[in-house]
């Protein structure tokens, strides 16, 4: 059994760029993007303080972000080239290495909860599309209308991006695209780690496209002996480096979570010209993060129990 430790959690609201229509583009401690990650971090921290598991904490934090239309996950997710929402999510338990994920889900409000159901109530790791939806009904997760996941802001962005992309190439290749994913990693008082990640994917992505988020070892990874990691950014490039496991392995070899995060993001840019970010919590509760995009909203707990939020 791992030694007792102070609980720790760090969450992110996605790496990328802010457009002029983004309510956080003016910055400030009260910007919605900062307020949201702080709220999610505090929700996860409350679970940990009550003696809950790291797994419960990361699911709780990610659900808060999925329900916040500020972020590209759940309600407020970006739209595909077809004009609807397709959601991906994953979750992993560092104690047992159990994991679950879903991809191309259109009718679930909180895909991270469905990912956990896949982990705990099936023999599989990843379910996609109609199969994931059917499993959701079997697991007692009610259907949620796709139109309810679409916000006016994302519809307007879709119209603008579709017009700008006309004649520029295949869907999902629009220059200047904004990335976005939400995630959380935590260590509980028993010393166990967990990670969870959720996203709507890339703006104007082809229907059926799957990025790094639901791929264990790419967008999400947790192992009590290594670290817990959640990634955000250009999914295709993150997949090429299996970035989450890249970070965890380096912590396992002795790097601090902060150094491991910085090394991973440097490699992402150098090796595959990728853009993105990572958050990490180590086996002793140390947090780390890095990104090579203009912003990556994040919030984390300090050893004193305070919550710090940054863009």
Q: How far apart are CA 128 and CA 302, in angstroms?
A: 37
Q: How far apart are CA 9 and CA 283, in angstroms?
A: 12
* Chain center to CA of 205: 17
Pairing relationship of beta strands 193-199 and 287-291 according to DSSP bridges: unpaired
Quickly list H helices, the chain. 32-49, 54-66, 111-121, 129-138, 152-165, 235-240, 243-252, 257-272
**Can you give the length of the chain in residues?**
311
Nearest to 299 by CA among 77, 68, 39, 22: 39
- Among 78, 113, 181, 301, the one annotated catalytic: 181
Active site residue 113: no
The residues near 30 (Cβ < 8 Å, ≥ 6 apart) are none
Q: How far apart are CA 291 and CA 301, in angstroms?
A: 19
Q: Exposed, middle or buried, 254 (CB in 10 Å: 0-12/13-18/19+)? A: exposed
The residues near 273 (Cβ < 8 Å, ≥ 6 apart) are 237
What is the torsional sign of CA 63, 287, 292, 38?
A: positive
Q: How far apart are CA 287 and CA 228, in angstroms?
A: 10
Quickly list H helices, 166-256. 235-240, 243-252
Answer whether 196's CB lies under 8 Å from 230's CB: yes
| Residues identified as active-site | 181
């Amino acid at each position: 059994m791992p030694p007792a430790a102070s609980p720790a959690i760090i969450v992110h609201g996605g790496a990328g760029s802010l457009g002029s229509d983004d309510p956080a583009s003016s910055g400030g401690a009260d910007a919605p993007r900062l307020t949201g990650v702080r709220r999610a971090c505090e929700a996860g921290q409350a679970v940990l303080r009550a003696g809950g598991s790291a797994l419960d904490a990361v699911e709780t934090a990610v659900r808060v972000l999925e329900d916040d239309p500020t972020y590209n996950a759940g309600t407020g997710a970006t739209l595909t080239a077809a004009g609807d929402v397709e959601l991906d999510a994953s979750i992993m338990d560092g104690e047992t290495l159990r994991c679950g994920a879903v991809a191309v889900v259109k009718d679930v409000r909180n895909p991270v909860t469905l990912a956990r159901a896949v982990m705990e109530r099936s023999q599989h790791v990843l379910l996609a599309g109609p199969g994931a939806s059917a499993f959701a009904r079997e697991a007692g997760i009610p259907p949620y209308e796709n139109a309810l996941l679409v916000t006016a802001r994302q519809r307007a962005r879709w119209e603008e991006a579709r017009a700008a992309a006309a004649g520029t190439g295949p869907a999902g290749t629009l220059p200047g695209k904004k990335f976005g994913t939400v995630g959380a990693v935590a260590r509980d008082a028993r010393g166990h780690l967990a990670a969870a990640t959720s996203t709507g994917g890339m703006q104007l992505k082809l229907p059926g496209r799957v990025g790094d988020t639901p791929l264990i070892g790419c967008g999400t990874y947790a192992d009590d002996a290594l670290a817990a990691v959640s990634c955000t950014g250009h999914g295709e490039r993150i997949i090429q480096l299996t970035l989450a496991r890249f970070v965890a392995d380096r912590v396992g070899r002795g790097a601090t979570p902060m150094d491991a995060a910085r090394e991973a993001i440097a490699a992402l840019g150098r090796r595959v010209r990728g853009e993105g970010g990572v958050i990490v919590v180590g086996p002793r509760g140390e947090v780390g993060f890095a990104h090579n995009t203009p912003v990556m909203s994040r919030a984390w707990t300090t050893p004193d129990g305070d919550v710090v939020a940054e863009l």
